[in-house]
Amino acid sequence: MRKKIVAGNWKMNTDLESGKKLAVEVNQLIAEKGNPEVKVVLIPPFTHIFAVLNSVNSQRIEIGAQNCSSESKGAFTGEVSVEMIKSIGATHVIIGHSERRNYFKETDEMLNKKTKLSLEIGLTPIFCCGETLEQRNAKNHFSVVEEQLNKGIFGFEKNDFEKIVIAYEPVWAIGTGLNATPEQAQEMHFFIRNLISKKFGNETAENISILYGGSCNAANASQLFANQDVDGGLIGGASLKANDFLGIINAF
C-alpha cells in the first residue's frame, strides 16, 4: 500500500536559530499528537539540514534537501551534490520545484539527471510537476504534466521509478492562497496514476505516492487528502508554523 506523506518545504526561510526552534516544535507536536500513519519529511535550507536532523527524532521525522546539483562532483562552485546531501543524513530531495524551473531555468534534461543521481545514491526524489495558469486556461494542463513526467522520470527502469515520490503542484496555486479544488487535484492525480499504470503497470501505479502542493493548509488539507489519488502534500508556507503543519499531518 502506498505511503501517506506530508513534506514541509521551508524554501529560503528561517535563520539557523529559528529553523532549529521550528524543528523542535514540530518534533514535539508530532511526538505528542501526530498521526502515526503519516510519513513526515522536513525540508529546510541546506545550511540547516544538520542542525534540524539533530533537533528531531529521526525515527519519526525524515529530512530532505530542496535541490541538488545535476553534476556529481567537481568544479561547480556553489553547487551541492547528492553525495553531500546523503552524507549529512538526509533521505529526500525535491527535484523540479516550479521555482527552480522558472527562476533558475532548470530544464527537463537537468531534472532527469538530478533524479538519476539521487536514485543512484539512494535518496528519494520528490519530483514536482504542474502547469501554469495560462497553460490550464488553454486546456493544456494534462499535456504539460505528461511531458514533464515523460522527460523527467518516465524513462527510468521500473524498479528505480518505484522509488520516486511525485508532487503535483499547479504553479498558479503555489504561494498564492488559491489552492486547486479537491476535484481539480483528484482529476490530475488520477490522470498521473493512469499514465504510470500504462507505462509501468497497475501495481506500480497503485504503490506510488502522489502528493498535492499549492496553498495547502490546515483548513483545506482534509478535503484535498480525502481524494482517492491524493496521498499527502508538499507544503510550503503552512510548514513554517508548527501547529498548522501538525494540522495538515492530522488531516487524513
Which one of 235, 242, 246, 249 is in contact with ligand PEP (CB under 6 A)?
235
Segment interacting with ligand PEP (CB under 6 A) among 19-27, 117-125, 189-197, 231-239: 231-239
Decide if residue 42 touches ligand PEP (CB under 6 A): no
Q: Given the complex with ligand PEP, which of 152 and 237 has the nearer CB atom?
A: 237
Place of cell 521500473: 158
What is the 3-state secondary structure of the chain? CCCEEEEEECCCCCCHHHHHHHHHHHHHHHHHHCCCCEEEEEECCHHHHHHHHCCCCCCCEEEEECCCCCCCCCCCCCCCCHHHHHHCCCCEEEECCHHHHHHCCCCHHHHHHHHHHHHHHCCEEEEEECCCHHHHHCCCHHHHHHHHHHHHCCCCCHHHHCCCEEEECCHHHCCCCCCCCHHHHHHHHHHHHHHHHHHHCHHHHHHCCEEECCCCCCCCHHHHHCCCCCCEEEECHHHHCHHHHHHHHCCC
CA dihedral 241, 169, 86, 121 (to 10 degrees): 160
Q: Which residue among the candidates 48, 99, 169, 189 is catalytic per the annotation?
A: 169
Cβ proximity to ligand PEP, 34 vs 214, nearer residue: 214
How many residues bind to ligand PEP according to rule CB under 6 A? 15
* Per annotation, catalytic residue among 48, 62, 92, 97: 97
x/- letters, 175..194, toward ligand PEP (CB under 6 A): x-------------------
Is the CB of residue 69 less than 8 Å from the CB of residue 114?
yes
Judged by beta carbon, residue 34 or residue 233, the one nearer ligand PEP is: 233
CB closer to ligand PEP out of 170 and 205: 170
- By beta-carbon proximity to ligand PEP, the closer residue of 70 and 217 is 217
Among 25-33, 34-42, 189-197, 214-222, which window interacts with ligand PEP (CB under 6 A)?
214-222
Give yes or no for residue 234 binding ligand PEP (CB under 6 A).
Answer: yes
Q: Interface with ligand PEP includes 215 (CB under 6 A)? A: yes
Residue 97 bears catalytic tag = yes
231 lies in the binding site for ligand PEP (CB under 6 A) = no
Catalytic residue numbers read 97, 169
Which residues in this chain contact ligand PEP in the complex, by CB under 6 A? 9, 11, 97, 169, 174-175, 213-216, 234-238
